[in-house]
């Protein structure tokens, strides 16, 4: 007599029976033929001899392979009978037809993924149970393989060994599976320990929270395993098949032209489709959970109409007729309406369905004549309306037919609807509005370049140079008579002077690593950092061009960065040293002093009361980090220059926000290279992702090309809300519910993003709002950096991006006035309306007046000397 065969299941799903040397030869031959099999995705079974056996011819195949009866002791097992039973179950399970109302669904053969670290009687039990019924079965021994198989095979059921956490965390694996898109259609089952009756069993609630649908108490009995699997197929798996079909039904409803509303027996709205939103003007979020009759209530319907409808519904009958619907705008529209009940348990009404025809018949208002015309080579159907103006409603290209609506689409739909009954003059005006709305950049202003050039060529060139990557001519028309020759040697020197994005400056190690080590003469200047009058230029001088380290360490400490990042102060200091070392001290403007200045302005703005109410600590830290790195490794040249010279960074970033992408990318690369400078190393993964996204978004916002888009979004989304908040606060106090609600709206993620973008943009170009002496110094520095770029462009034969910055013809006061007029005034006025910064506005007005007087003096002197564009030493 041989020993009972032992079963082994390897990772690929291959089932092997091992026998002892003295095992019965019949058993061995049976094992080789029957037990060694691989379940394939196509439902076939491959024997060890390589012969594929389908479920239809298994019975004849197995009859030939198993002609014997095994006897063990007094027990007798007829294998042929078991095989026939298995085949009958399998053939039945592959033809399941499921009904969902009138829908007929076909349930495919169920597939199972077993996740067991080690093979034991329980895993074998499920494997053989699946084999007998005819299910597809796969097995994995670790979370990685399980996830790989899950994403590849998409099993209906995943059975995870939850009896022991020694090998892997079953709940963590379940959460990982649930994080995938297709997991909503999967049943995940936990196999748990069997406890003695006198021992308290732990709660299964944490496992349910992790995503498990069911638990099975361990039992290797194959019959028990078969019953559990059959229960899953006809229960949970079948329910998920129906839910999947419901998803298809809802998708169909969202694509029909009629407005569909589903409500409870109490007329509480539970679902509306896209056509309902278009018809009524309400979004689904605004109507869900509200009483259906109250939403569209108006005095155009008969007083007893609702009673008539309810009477029909209670009888289980539908109601059909004209129903007037009140839109969100107050407009009342008649529509053909069909309302029917859905009967549930006990024959009682469970739901009420309302279907309104969204294409209203208005023939009683205006007779229409429909004709087909050939327009642009296409057959189009036009409907003539008032004054012979083509009606939009019947156009086959009408935008109402779109099933995926963006907010701008809804705006266009409203305008289209308004055109249908408007006079010809209004229709023509709205057509112009639609042309504007259909452009791709709604928030970017249109500059009338020709008019701007005729009236103010300097402003035109300044704007074009800062917001465009377009190549410019070597010499502008108004400077054509000025000699612009520069030596080739100078251009070559400039090119070699400008460091590549891999070079960096070394900061000597004796620099302070703690606030307690700051020298007194530096500390005296730092003590004024909380005021707007703080002079970063003075700090630059006393720190030997290392202001970012000292000011950064003090500012970041004030905002609790060490506690937030859970790192030592030395890590912050090391990081600041590293970052400051990658700013180019040879740049006259874009250097670490500018970074320190932007960080100081950002910190000052964060201390405003409204920002303190809107932002949390992560927002504050993100703003400060973004300010510190926003010009990291800046070469002292503009994006347009890099694009024109085909710089490797421009090629890398596809000419789009070249420097801004480089600044943010390099900041994270440097931070993660060395643990001693890695300020992010102790952050939770989710927190790091949010912080990183915020920093990148703010750095990218500093690109001047996107200036007007960000500003217009801020004005439309934030300023208008703040105006309402201020009015509410003045009338009912700061603690009123309306004021609190509006503050919560400002704190919404999207609105906080708009605010942070404008915050760093204002900090980046706050020079005209600084005290006059500081403003003048920054004006001189930026002009010199642009001079150097123009010199190099001419020396190398590159297009001149900003011809206005020619050191032989520049009028710095005029360039400052143009910059303030175009970019500064509106942005800072809007930011002042938001967070109240009157001291900045005061400095801005003073500085503007100063530059205006200097420009007038320069113009007068230029006229006296008969120079086209004269300048004086004071101007520079």
Tell which wins on pLDDT, 818 or 436.
818
How many helices, marked H, and strands, marked E, lie in the chain? 38, 22
pLDDT value at residue 539: 96
Residue 503 tokens read as 């070079």
Signed CA dihedral, 99, 104, 109, 115: sign only: negative
Weakest-pLDDT range from 49-53, 244-248, 283-287: 49-53
Tell which wins on pLDDT, 455 or 31.
455
Tell the residue number behind the tokens 């498990």, with chain if given.
212
Tell the residue number behind the tokens 């503009």, with chain if given.
638
Query: Could you give the angle at which helices 488-497 and 772-796 cross, rounded to 10 degrees?
Result: 120
Residue-wise pLDDT tens digits, 383-398: 444 334 344 334 434 4
Q: Does the pLDDT of residue 434 top 70, yes or no? A: yes
Weakest-pLDDT range from 241-250, 479-488, 672-681: 479-488
pLDDT value at residue 406: 64
Weakest-pLDDT range from 553-557, 690-694, 869-873: 869-873
pLDDT value at residue 773: 96
Strand partners, 269: 263
- Average model confidence (pLDDT) across the chain: 77
Tell me 729's DSSP state: H
Stretch 195-213: mean pLDDT: 89
> Which among 431, 445, 447, 440 has a CA at the least distance from the CA of 408?
440
Stretch 538-544: mean pLDDT: 95
Cα within 13 Å of Cα(277), Cβ side: 25
Q: Does the pLDDT of residue 782 top 50, yes or no? A: yes
Stretch 473-488: mean pLDDT: 37
> Which among 282, 287, 229 has a CA at the least distance from the CA of 262?
287
Residues 6 or more apart whose CB falls under 8 angstroms from that of 447 comprise 460, 463, 464
Signed CA dihedral, 304, 306, 311, 316: sign only: positive
Residue-wise pLDDT tens digits, 638-685: 999 999 999 999 999 999 999 999 999 999 999 999 999 999 999 999
Strand partners, 113: 138, 158
Say if residues 681 and 689 touch (Cβ distance below 8 Å): no
* Dist. CA 790–CA 474, nearest whole Å: 10
Strand partners, 214: 189
Residue-wise pLDDT tens digits, 824-876: 999 999 999 999 999 999 999 999 999 999 999 888 877 776 544 444 444 44
In this prediction the pTM is 0.51
In angstroms, the Cα distances linking 480 to 179, 452, 637, 644, 803 are 64, 18, 24, 22, 11
pLDDT value at residue 382: 40
Helix ranges restricted to H, 607-684: 609-614, 617-629, 639-644, 648-652, 658-673
Question: E strands along 256-413, which residues?
Answer: 259-264, 269-272, 319-326, 332-343, 349-356, 369-375, 378-384, 390-391
Among the listed residues 35, 274, 400, 590, the single catalytic one is: 590
Phi-psi region of 374 (alpha: psi -120 to 50; beta: other; left: phi over 0): beta
Q: How confident is the model at residue 753 (pLDDT cuts 50, 70, 90)?
A: very high
Q: Annotated catalytic, 843?
A: no
Say if residues 49 and 30 touch (Cβ distance below 8 Å): no
Q: What phi and psi values does residue 628 have, to the nearest 5 degrees? A: -65, -40
CB atoms under 10 Å from CB of 310, counted, come to 15
> Which among 703, 714, 708 has a CA at the least distance from the CA of 833?
714
Q: How confident is the model at residue 487 (pLDDT cuts 50, 70, 90)?
A: very low
Q: Which residues of 245-277 are buried (b: 16+ CB within 10 A; e: fewer)?
A: eeeeeeeebbeeebbbbbbeeebebebbbbbbb
pLDDT value at residue 699: 98
Say if residues 822 and 462 touch (Cβ distance below 8 Å): yes
Q: Does the pLDDT of residue 18 top 50, yes or no? A: no
Say if residues 830 and 719 touch (Cβ distance below 8 Å): yes
Q: Does the pLDDT of residue 480 top 80, yes or no? A: no
Stretch 100-107: mean pLDDT: 81
Of the ranges 408-417, 667-676, 737-746, the best mean pLDDT one: 667-676
Q: Does the pLDDT of residue 87 top 60, yes or no? A: no
Q: How confident is the model at residue 84 (pLDDT cuts 50, 70, 90)?
A: very low
Residues 6 or more apart whose CB falls under 8 angstroms from that of 339 comprise 309, 312, 313, 318, 319, 320, 352, 353, 354, 355
Tell which wins on pLDDT, 1 or 525.
525
Residue-wise pLDDT tens digits, 180-202: 887 888 999 999 988 888 888 88
Tell the residue number behind the tokens 């063990």, with chain if given.
72
pLDDT value at residue 577: 96
């Amino acid at each position: 007599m041989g020993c009972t065969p032992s079963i082994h299941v390897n990772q690929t799903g291959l089932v092997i029976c091992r026998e002892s040397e003295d095992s019965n030869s019949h058993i061995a031959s049976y094992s080789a033929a029957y037990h060694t099999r691989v379940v394939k995705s196509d439902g076939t079974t491959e024997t060890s001899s390589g012969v594929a056996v389908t479920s239809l011819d298994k019975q004849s195949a197995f009859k030939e392979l198993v002609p014997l009866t095994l006897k063990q002791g007094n027990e007798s097992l007829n294998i042929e009978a078991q095989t026939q039973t298995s085949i009958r179950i399998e053939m039945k399970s592959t033809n399941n037809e499921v009904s969902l109302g009138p829908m007929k669904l076909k349930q495919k053969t169920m597939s199972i993924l077993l996740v067991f670290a080690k093979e034991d009687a329980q895993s074998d039990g499920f494997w053989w149970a699946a084999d007998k019924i005819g299910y597809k079965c796969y097995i994995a021994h670790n979370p990685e393989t399980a996830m790989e198989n899950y994403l590849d095979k998409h099993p209906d059921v995943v059975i995870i060994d939850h009896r022991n956490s020694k090998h892997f965390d079953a709940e963590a694996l379940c959460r990982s599976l649930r994080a995938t898109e297709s997991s909503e259609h999967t049943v995940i089952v936990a196999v748990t320990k069997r406890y003695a009756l006198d021992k308290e069993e732990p709660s299964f609630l944490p496992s349910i929270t992790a995503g498990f649908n069911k638990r099975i108490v361990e039992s290797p009995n194959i019959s028990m395993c078969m019953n559990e699997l059959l229960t899953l197929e006809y229960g949970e798996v079948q329910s998920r098949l129906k839910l999947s079909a419901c998803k298809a039904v809802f998708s169909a409803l969202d694509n029909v032209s009629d407005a569909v509303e589903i409500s409870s027996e109490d007329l509480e709205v539970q679902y509306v489709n896209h056509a309902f939103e278009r018809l009524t003007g309400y979004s689904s979020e605004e109507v869900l959970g509200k009483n259906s009759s109250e939403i569209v209530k108006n005095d155009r319907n008969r007083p007893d109409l609702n009673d008539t409808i309810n009477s029909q519904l209670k009888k289980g009958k539908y109601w059909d007729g004209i129903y007037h619907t009140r839109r969100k705008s107050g407009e009342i529209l008649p529509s053909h309406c069909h309302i029917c009940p859905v009967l549930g348990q006990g024959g009682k009404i469970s739901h009420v369905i309302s279907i309104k025809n969204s294409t209203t018949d208005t023939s009683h208002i205006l007779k229409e004549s429909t004709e087909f015309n050939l327009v642009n080579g296409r057959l189009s159907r036009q409907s003539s309306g008032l004054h012979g103006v083509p009606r939009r409603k019947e156009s086959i290209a009408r935008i109402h037919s779109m099933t995926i609506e963006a907010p701008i689409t809804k705006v266009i739909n409203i305008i289209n609807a308004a055109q249908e009954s408007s006079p010809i003059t209004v229709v023509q005006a709205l057509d112009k509005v639609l042309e504007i709305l259909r452009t791709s950049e709604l928030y970017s202003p249109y500059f009338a370049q020709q008019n701007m050039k005729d009236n103010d060529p300097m402003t035109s060139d300044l704007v074009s140079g800062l917001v465009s990557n377009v190549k410019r001519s070597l010499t502008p028309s108004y400077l054509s008579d000025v000699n612009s020759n520069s030596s080739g040697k100078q251009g070559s020197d400039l090119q070699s002077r400008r460091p590549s994005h891999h070079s960096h400056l070394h900061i000597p190690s004796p620099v302070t690593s703690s606030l307690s080590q700051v020298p007194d003469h530096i500390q005296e200047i730092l003590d004024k950092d909380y005021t707007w009058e703080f002079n970063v230029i003075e700090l630059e001088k006393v720190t030997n061009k290392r202001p970012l380290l000292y000011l950064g360490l003090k500012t970041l400490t004030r905002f609790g960065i060490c506690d937030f990042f859970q790192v030592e102060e030395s890590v912050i200091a090391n990081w600041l040293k590293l970052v400051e070392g990658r700013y180019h001290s040879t740049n006259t403007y874009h250097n670490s002093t500018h970074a320190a200045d932007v960080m100081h302005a950002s910190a000052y703005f964060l201390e405003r009361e409204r920002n303190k109410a809107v932002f949390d600590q992560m927002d504050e830290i993100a703003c400060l980090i973004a300010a510190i790195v926003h010009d990291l490794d800046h070469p002292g040249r503009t994006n347009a220059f890099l694009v024109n010279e085909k710089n490797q960074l421009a090629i890398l970033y596809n000419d789009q926000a070249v420097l801004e992408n480089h600044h943010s990318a390099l900041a994270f690369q440097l931070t993660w290279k060395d643990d001693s400078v890695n300020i992010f190393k102790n952050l939770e993964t989710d927190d790091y992702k949010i912080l990183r996204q915020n920093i990148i978004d703010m750095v990218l916002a500093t690109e001047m090309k996107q200036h007007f888009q960000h500003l217009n979004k801020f004005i439309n989304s934030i300023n208008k809300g703040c105006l309402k908040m201020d009015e509410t606060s003045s009338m009912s106090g700061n603690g009123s519910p309306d004021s609190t609600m509006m503050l919560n709206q400002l704190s919404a993620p999207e609105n906080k993003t708009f605010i942070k973008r404008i915050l760093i943009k204002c900090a980046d170009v706050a020079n005209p709002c600084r005290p006059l002496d500081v403003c003048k110094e920054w004006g001189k520095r930026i002009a010199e950096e642009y001079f150097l770029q123009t010199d190099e462009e001419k020396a190398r034969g590159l297009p001149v991006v900003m011809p206005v910055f020619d050191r032989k013809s520049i009028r710095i006061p005029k360039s400052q006035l143009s910059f303030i007029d175009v970019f500064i005034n509106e942005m800072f006025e809007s930011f002042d309306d938001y967070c109240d910064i009157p001291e900045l506005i005061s400095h801005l007005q003073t500085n503007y007046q100063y530059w205006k007087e200097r420009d007038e003096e320069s113009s007068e002197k230029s006229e006296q000397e008969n120079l086209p564009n004269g300048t004086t030493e004071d101007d520079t």
